[in-house]
Amino acid sequence: MQATLDPKPSSPAPSAEVSVAIRDLCFNYGSSQALKDITLDLHKHEVTAFIGPSGCGKSTLLRCINRMNDEIPGTRVTKGSIHIEDINIHDPSVDVVKLRRDVGMVFQKSNPFPKSIYENVAFGLRMRGVKDKQVIDQAVEESLRSAALWDEVKDRLQESALGLSGGQQQRLCIARTIAVKPLVVLMDEPCSALDPIATAKVEELVWQLKNDYTFVIVTHNMQQAARVSDRTAFFYMGELVEYSDTKRIFSNPRVRKTEEYISGRFG
C-alpha cells in the first residue's frame, strides 16, 4: 500500500467518481459518542455540504477526514474507516502530516499568520522544503489568481495579511490551502463571520474551483448549501439522516426530520 496520497494519473473522471469513502464511522469524545455509524461517499469535482443543527457532528466528521481530531486529547475513532483514494487514512503506515498535505482545510475563523500576504501563501510550500524562489513566486500568483484575490493584492504582497478585510483574509486562507494542490478541501463554516458580499465571493470561488478539487463545506446557512453544493448531507444528533442531491434534499426530502430542519421548524 502506498503511504502517500499522490493523485493517480487518470483520464478525466466521471463526475461521480468517489474521492473519500466513509464507512460505518463511529467517533467518541471521551465517553460520549459524537458520530454514529456514518457511511458516506464524497465525490470528485463536486461540492458536498454538511448541514444540521449545532452539535450534530458535522464539524467533527469534517475534522475526521484530515485527522485534525487527533489534536484533541481523549478523542478516537471507535469503529469504521475513511478511505481517500482507496487508502485507509487510519492505517498505521499513513503519515498524518502527509495526509494533511493532501487534505487541506479552511477554518471558520479566518486565521492568516501575522506575516506578509506572500509569506502566507508560500507557507505550505516552504514547509515542504521548496526553496526555489521562482517556483514559489509562480505558485503564489497562481493560487492568488485562483482565489480571485490577485488583482486586489498584487501591489501589496509584502504587506501584512492582517491588513486585509475579513473576506479577503478568508480568501487568502483558501489561496494558502490550494497553493499546495491538495486533493480534498475541507471548509468549516467558512462564511459564518463574513458579510453577504464577501460570502458571495467565497461561494463563487468554491464553484469555480470545484473542477479541480473535492470540496466539503460545513454550513449553518441552508441557503448557502442550496446555492453552492451538488450534494447535501443532513446530520442530526451524530447520525447521518439523509444524503442526496442538493436539489432533491431541498425540494423533496425523504425524511421528515430533514424537511423540518430545512423549513426552519427547529435548529
DSSP 11: S
Minimum distance between the CB of residue 184 and other proteins, rounded to whole angstroms? 12
Per rule CB under 8 A, is residue 124 in the interface with other proteins? yes
* Range 53-64 burial, b when 16+ CB lie within 10 A, else e: eeebbbbbbbbb
The three-state secondary structure class of 226 is helix
Per rule CB under 8 A, is residue 238 in the interface with other proteins? no
Q: Which is nearer to other proteins, 144 or 241 (CB)?
A: 144
Minimum distance between the CB of residue 180 and other proteins, rounded to whole angstroms? 7
Closest by CA position to 185, among listed 242, 111, 107: 107
Q: Of the ranges 109-117, 135-143, 223-231, 259-267, which one interacts with other proteins (CB under 8 A)? A: 109-117
Using CB under 8 A as the binding criterion, the count of chain residues that bind other proteins stands at 27
Stretch 160-219 residues interacting with other proteins (CB under 8 A): 162, 173, 176-177, 180
Q: Which of 52, 57, 80, 104 binds other proteins (CB under 8 A)?
A: 104
* Range 160-185 burial, b when 16+ CB lie within 10 A, else e: ebeebeebbbbbbbbbbbbbbbbbbb
C-alpha cell at 50: 454538511
CB 106 within 8 A of CB 185: yes
Q: Where along the sequence are the contacts to other proteins (CB under 8 A)? A: 66, 68, 71, 73, 97-102, 104-105, 107, 109, 111-114, 123-124, 127-128, 162, 173, 176-177, 180
